[in-house]
Structure 1
C-alpha cells in the first residue's frame, strides 16, 4: 500500500472565532451543566424549557412552544406526551378555535416549575457574574437581534 503524503490543509476560517461556534459552545456548556442539575427532578433540559415557557406564558399552541423550547415538532409531541404521563402538563381545547389544542401546566407542573426557577436563576447568575447589569442588558439585546436576523436562514 502506498504511503500518502501528509500535507497541511489551510482553511481561511477560524472556527474558534466564529460567532455561531461561540454561541453554540456557550449554550452547550450551560445546557450540559443545567441538565445535570435537572436530573433529580426527572426532567431533561428540553422538558424544562417547555415547562418554563408554559409557566411564563400559559395555554400555548404547539407551534408557539416549538419556537420557545427550541425543538422540532415531532420531538415536542413526544416531550408533551412524556410530560402528560408525568402529570406536569395537560392538553386543552382552545376557546377561540375548538379544533386547536393548547398546552398548559397542571398544578403539579406549576409547583415543579416554581421549585426549579430559583435553580435556573442561580445557574444564569453564575454564568453572568463577570458582566455588569448594563452589559447583561446589551448581551440580551444583541442575542435577540442575532436570533431575529437569522430567521432568513431557515
Structure 2
C-alpha cells in the first residue's frame, strides 16, 4: 500500500510569508536604530509608550509584542539609559506603570520619521486602499490567531 505524501509549499504559507516580510523589515530597521543605541525591541517599547503613556508591563507586553520576562529586562535597560521610568500605581501599590522620560520622549520623537520612512518604502507600490486593507487583514489575522496562543 502506498503512503500518501502531503505537499506543503512553505513559500505560500501565510505564517511564513508574514514572518518573512516582518523579518526583512525588522532587520533593516534594526540596523537603522544602531546609531541611536536602541534594539528593535527597545524601539517598540518606546514607540508604544509614546503612543500610550503610563502602561503596566502587562499592557506593554501586548502592545510591544514581548513576553513579560523579556519585557522586564528591556525596561530595565531603558531605565538604566534614563529613557523610561517606573511609577507605582496609586490604587495598587504592587502595580507599576512605565512612562518615557523627557529624554526617552525626545529620542522617540527623533526616530519616528525614520520609522515612517521605512514603512513608506515597504508600502511604496501599494495604493492607499491596499494599505488600509492590508492593515485590516493583519489585525484580523492577529485576532484570529488568539486561540493558538
Q: TM-score range by the shorter chain?
A: over 0.9
TM-score (norm 1): 0.92
Q: What aligned pairs does 1:1-154 form with structure 2 within 5 A after superposition? A: 11-154=6-149
SS of 1:87's equivalent?
coil
Q: Secondary structure at the match of 2:29?
A: helix
Task: Report the number of matched residues.
Answer: 145
Structure 2 counterpart SS, 1:131: coil
* 1:98 CA displacement: 2.8
Q: Write the deviation string for residues 15-73 of structure 1: whole angstroms up to 9, x where unpaired.
A: 00000000000000000000000000000000000000000000000001111111111
Tell which structure's C-alpha radius of gyration is larger: 1
Q: Which whole-Å deviations, capped at 9, do the CAs of 1:91-116 have from their partners, x for residues lacking one?
A: 00113423210000000000000000
Report the 3-state secondary structure (helix = DSSP H, G, I; strand = E; otherwise coil) of the residue aligned with 1:98. coil
Q: How far apart are residue 11 of structure 1 and its match?
A: 4.5
**Cα deviation 1:105-137 (Å, max 9, x = unaligned):** 000000000000000000000000110011000
CA shift in 2, pair 1:127/1:100, >3 Å: same
Residue-by-residue CA offset, 1:72-105 (whole Å, 9 max, x unaligned) = 1111111000000000000001134232100000
4+ long deviations beyond 6 Å:
none
Query: Could you tell me how far apart the structure 2 residues matched to 1:71 and 1:59 are?
Result: 17
Give the distance between the partners of 1:115 and 1:70, measured in 2 at CA.
22
TM-score by length of 2: 0.95
The unaligned stretches of length 5 or more in structure 2 are: none
Greater alpha carbon shift after TM alignment, 83-92 vs 61-70: 61-70
